[in-house]
Structure 1
Amino acid sequence: MLSKPETRKDPLILLTILSIAAIGLGSVAFHATMLFEYELCDEVPMLIMIGLALLNKCHAHPLLLTRGRCAAYTACVTTAIGITIWIYAKLALYDFFVASFTALVVADTALGYTWRSTQRVASWARNASLLCIVSGKLLWEVEVRLCAADGRVWPLHVLWHVLSCGSAYYGVLADLASRIDCGLSQAPTALGVVKLSWLGVPFDEVRVVCGQWPPPAKVFKMR
């Protein structure tokens, strides 16, 4: 994802991708040690990543078009993420982390299915992301419940990691496409399109339809 010029030109998308990289490094540290302090290196970036994914919807969702609403929404998201991290780090309540992260994923999915953009690439990537995370979660649940009785189910945990990574990959693309469509990302060509080249994606461009490029300048009135 970092190799794509369109991702490096959108700070929020870039931060989201870096948080996914942090999850990968933290996951390696946790699985190599099985210590709680390294588990935090895995799961705290997960919370940060979903928080950034939620913030990607600012000015791209019908309920988040004004600065005031985006400011209030950003404050709510960052507060929720901060409180969740603090409680989990202090009390080590894994079920609390799982419930909180799941709730944030559901909220992000709901916003993703109700934003302004109707780009086919955004819709396709959004559906692919949801399919990956739901399939991975089902495999994870099976593995967790059966691993004590039969260790041969361990490959299901590997598939969970692969599918959750795929979900993040397509989720970033969905957010990026919607943000480009709403005039929040890089400048389009003269034809109003931004070229894409993402592995496993049957679309090669996204158009600026919902927004304007360049964004309208702020007008100051003299009093």
Structure 2
Amino acid sequence: MTGYWGEVDALHTFCEPNYASSAFVAEFWNSLGSAVYCFAALSGLVSTAGMVWQVRCGWWALLLTGLGSITFHGTMRYNAELLDELPMLQLIACATLAADGAHPWTRTPRGRALLLGGMAASLGGLTAAYLYTRTFYLFVTGFTLSVLLLFALGLAMESCSPAVGYCRVRAIGCIALGRIAWEIEERFCAAMPTLWPLHNVLGAGGLYGGTQQRGTSFLPKPLAIRANIHHEAVTRAAECPMKPAAVVSTEPPEGCLRGHGDASCGVSHCRISSRDMGHEGDLSKRSPPGSARSGSAQLLKA
């Protein structure tokens, strides 16, 4: 089929009829529904303002995914499809980087090498294989396995605050619900073309699931910080119980920006700037037990 943007040459098409709602947009409603990823990304960027790039890069990748998805569904061209799918793999990479040094499995050189090396090899191999074969289900299978691995990493973390665990479970449930809706549309589209609105359920699940993670990011750790120093900071933070939805200090110390509590999760945390965490000195001298900096940054427990 040829429309306003040229011949439809995407590797995968969806149930929504092309150019049925608009002569200028191939899949009008799917394109409009993809905007929810941008809203979730902007919400995350606002909530993590002042954090190091390892935390924020995931929200930027989600924003690129949303913009690419809008372009893809609006044109249904192959090049636009790559603008949607390749940022999804970048999102997986950013989420993996957020666990570096914060996850207990990465506190040894071997564990860190396995995590980062495995991520680079698997995502790099998947990207190369997908671009070479142009097999859509190769991409879908690889992306799904990557998401499941991230779920496993998240569930292996022990949080200091029960609210963090609740948000994490809700996020997983919403994303799983969206994937189920996507599969129903995919499997039964030929028999029931009217199922095309289910594709936007995936977007809604991604939006809600993404916003649940605003207050549950891994404790920021720049690559310059050694694992043992980061371990000490997390341990000290765990020693000071955090009260949900409470601001630890009215006047935070230098380098520590007062966090914005996540209203839906009841999480309030201190955002550690890259300037504060960019030194390899003894953090115990700057963050004694019970201080605002250590107590409010306790997202994870060693």
What range describes the TM-score normalised by the shorter chain of this pair? 0.7 to 0.9
Counterpart Cα distance in 1 of 2:102 and 2:187: 39
Other-structure match for 2:162 = 120
The CA distance in 2 between the partners of 1:110 and 1:193, in whole Å, is 30
Establish whether residue 197 from structure 1 lines up as the match of residue 237 from structure 2. no
Is the contact between residue 101 and residue 107 of structure 2 (CA under 8 Å) also seen in structure 1?
yes
Aligned positions, number: 209
- CA deviations 1:117-171 (Å, max 9, x no partner) are 3322321221111011110011111111222222221211111111123223334
Q: How far is 1:20 from its partner?
A: 0.2
- DSSP-derived class of the 1:25 partner: helix
Q: Is the 8 A contact 1:119 1:207 kept in 2?
A: no
1:44 aligns with 2:86: yes
Does the C-alpha gap of structure 1 residues 194 and 110 become closer, same or farther in structure 2, counting only changes over 3 Å?
farther
**Contact residue 140 and residue 160 of structure 1 kept, 8 A:** yes
Q: For residues 115 and 207 of structure 1, do their structure 2 counterparts lie closer, same or farther at Cα, with a shift above 3 Å needed?
A: farther
Partner of 2:151: 109
Give the 3 Å change call, closer, same or farther, for CA 204–119 of structure 1 in structure 2. Answer: closer
Give the TM-score of the pair, scaled to structure 2: 0.61
Contact 1:62–1:116 (8 Å) recurs in 2: no
Residue 30 (structure 2) aligns with: none
Q: Secondary structure at the match of 1:148?
A: coil
For 2:96 and 2:206, locate their aligned partners in 1 and report how far apart those are by CA, in whole Å: 17
Q: Structure 1 residue aligned with 2:123, among 76, 81, 104? A: 81
Displacement after TM superposition at 1:55 (Å): 1.8
Q: Is 1:10–2:52 an aligned residue pair? A: yes
| Alpha-carbon distance in structure 1 between the residues aligned to 2:268 and 2:257 | 6
Q: Partner amino acid for 1:179?
A: L
Pairwise CA distance, 1:112: 0.2
Match of 1:132 among 159, 162, 174: 174
Pairing of 1:1-223 with structure 2 (within 5 A)? 1-4=44-47, 6-171=48-213, 173-174=215-216, 176=217, 178-179=218-219, 183=233, 189=249, 195-198=259-262, 201-206=264-269, 217=281
The normalised TM-score by structure 1 is 0.80
**Which letter maps to 1:29?**
T
Report the secondary structure of 2:266's partner residue.
Answer: coil
* Cα deviations by residue, 1:197-221 (Å, 9 ceiling, x for unpaired): 335x23141479xxxx867627xxx
Structure (1 or 2) with the greater helix fraction: 1
Structure 2's unaligned 5+ residue stretches are 1-43, 221-229, 238-247, 283-302
Whether the aligned pair in 2 keeps the contact of 1:133 and 1:167 (CA below 8 Å) is yes
**1:24: Cα distance to partner?**
0.3
Tell me if structure 1 keeps the 8 A contact 2:175–2:206.
yes
CA-based RMSD of the aligned residues comes to 3.1
Percent of residue pairs identical: 25
CA distance in 1, matches of 2:258, 2:173: 26
With over 3 angstroms needed to count, the CA separation of the structure-2 counterparts of 1:171 and 1:202, relative to structure 1, is: closer
**Alpha-carbon distance, 1:16 to partner:** 0.6
Tell me which moved more, 162-171 or 21-30: 162-171
8 A contact 1:7–1:13 mirrored in 2: no
Contiguous gaps of at least 5 residues in structure 1: 219-223
* Structure 1 CA distance for aligned equivalents of residues 178 and 54 of structure 2: 26
- State the Cα distance separating 1:46 from its structure 2 match: 0.6
* Mapped contact 2:72–2:81 kept (Cα < 8 A): yes
Report the Cα distance in structure 1 between the residues aligned to 2:258 and 2:162, rounded to whole angstroms. Answer: 14
